[in-house]
Amino acid sequence: MLTDVAMEQKLAPTQDQHMIKIQGQEVCVHYGEKQALFSVNLDVRENQVTALIGPSGCGKSTFLRCLNRMNDTIDSARVSGTITLDGENIYDKAIDVVELRARVGMVFQKPNPFPKSIYENVAYGPRIHGLAKKKADLDEIVETSLKKAAIWNEVKDRLHEAGTGLSGGQQQRLCIARAIAVSPEVILMDEPCSALDPIATARVEELIDELRQNYTIVIVTHSMQQAARVSQRTAMFHLGYLVEEGDTDKMFTNPDDKRTQDYITGRFG
């Protein structure tokens, strides 16, 4: 039997109980002369999966890459507006970008393991960030990261074989383990399943759901079904503008904006 208080807590709406982890305000991005993102205001909530959807060239990946300053690596890219992580402006001069990218990890479209062993792929980050003092600590980080990425059982007997020798789906989970190894708070995923078969995709989706307990996740996906399945919040981009943002359940059954409706029902253009 639940007590009245427990019952109330159980019945209380879960919406808006999640803290805002990342806040984007008036975010604009230019690539040279061309403006790719126009005054985007978007909040990312803690321990939730936020999906960014929209047709190609809509700015969703550009926005994602702003969140850990990956756009800094593109010479012509200029970012304006404010993006805060736990209230701290990540574009502030005092921010150490390497440290930021450890806090905000990233997984890419194509699995890109280092041409090293499975063990080294995961151990590399913790080692350069000085997260492990002893070999035993490092071993433990590698093991827990691989376990969290749901790939431990498949690789535990071949940790010193090349990471590139794994299947595509395993490589992608290895990359997720590599991202987890440096204890990030946020994981950005840029179409993480687009190069995977349906079974590997299902594994990664299952993993995303588990990771949500401990991390905040932002995922860019072209698969509407995937966005509907894995995310709690969805943001729809079009031509560089944020068109609509809201609860995933509502976005995929009854969106407010005509452009969202047209896009998710396959009526675009």
Partner 1 sequence: MGNHTVTSFDEELGAIDRLIRDMGDLAETMVDASIRALLDSDAALSQRTISDDAIMDARQRELDDRAITLIAKRQPMAQDLRAVVGAIRMAGDLERIGDLAKNIAKRVNAVGEAPTPRSLSHGIEAMSGLVLTQIRGVVDKYVSRQAGDLKALRAADEQIDIQYTAVFRELLTYMMEDPRNITACTHLLFCAKNLERIGDHVTNIAENAYYVMTGEQLPPNRPKLDETSMTAPA
* Residues of the shown chain interacting with partner 1 in the complex, contacts defined by CB under 8 A: 224-225, 228, 252-255, 260-262, 264-269
**Closer CB to partner 1, residue 147 or residue 222?**
222
Q: In whole angstroms, how close is the CB of 228 to partner 1 at the nearest point? A: 8
Using the structure block, give the residue that is written with the tokens 């702003």.
66
Q: Residue type for 151, please?
A: I
For residue 253, the minimal CB distance to partner 1 (Å) is 6
Tokens 């299952």 appear where?
206
Which value, to the nearest 10 degrees, does the dihedral of the CA atoms of residues 55, 62, 23, 184 take? 110
Q: What six digits make up the tokens of 220?
A: 């860019």
State the minimum distance, in angstroms, from the CB of residue 251 to partner 1: 8
d(CA 217, CA 219): 6
| Residue number with CB closer to partner 1 (191 or 244) | 244
Measured from the CB atom, the residue of 202 and 224 that comes closer to partner 1 is 224
Q: Which is nearer to partner 1, 160 or 258 (CB)?
A: 258
151: left (phi over 0), alpha (psi -120 to 50) or beta: alpha
In the numeric block, the tokens 């179409």 are attached to 191
Minimum distance, C-beta of residue 235 to partner 1, in the bound complex (Å): 16
CB of 257 to partner 1, least distance (A): 11
* Burial of 135 from C-beta contacts in 10 A (0-12 / 13-18 / 19+): exposed
Q: What is the dihedral of CA 187, 126, 195, 109, to 10 degrees?
A: 50
**Least Cβ distance, residue 104 to partner 1 (angstroms):** 30
Residue 72 or 262 having the CB closest to partner 1: 262
| Closer CB to partner 1, 72 or 257, in the complex | 257
Q: Are 223 and 193 in contact (CB under 8 A)?
A: yes
